Amino acid sequence: MADDKKKLTDVQDKLLKEAARAREKAYAPYSKFLVGAAVLMDSGKIYTGCNVENASYGLTCCAERTAIFKAVSEGEKKIKAIAIVLDAPDYGAPCGACRQVIYEFGPKAEVIMGTVTGRYEIRPITDLIPLAFGPDNL
């Protein structure tokens, strides 16, 4: 059931499905909180990622950054949209570090936050990181 009452586009639906599949590969033995992400780049290509925890907690990498860094490592630099899927009663927004990375490569990106049960919310990244710091601030 969609919270925003709008039907998903085919692309949004595909991103959520890809993020849900990526979530199944998460390595989260400590928190047991599995997250998947799928990022759509300007080229039309989709990259996925999952969260990867570490016994030294500060070295953990979120699903969003994993997907984005995969895209960047393949030469992609412009995010159109990103979907994040988790198993929780409510959808979750990206952490602050992920918001900053999303903004760096997609200041106009659409963020689709979803759950494995089908709930979702869609927001522009600028709603999630108002007054963002980016390359234009340097």
Q: Is residue 89 part of a domain?
A: yes
If one counts the domains in the chain, the total is: 1
> Which position among 18, 64, 76, 110 bears the catalytic label?
64
DSSP at 136? G
Residue 111 structural domain: 10-137
Mean pLDDT of 1-14: 77
- Evaluate if pTM is beyond 0.85: yes
Which CATH number do you get for residue 41?
3.40.140.10
Q: Is residue 39 part of a domain?
A: yes
Mean pLDDT of 122-132: 96
Summary mean pLDDT of the chain = 94
CA distance 68 to 71: 5
Cα–Cα nearest to 86, from 24, 38, 51, 36: 36
Catalytic residue flag (residue 64): yes
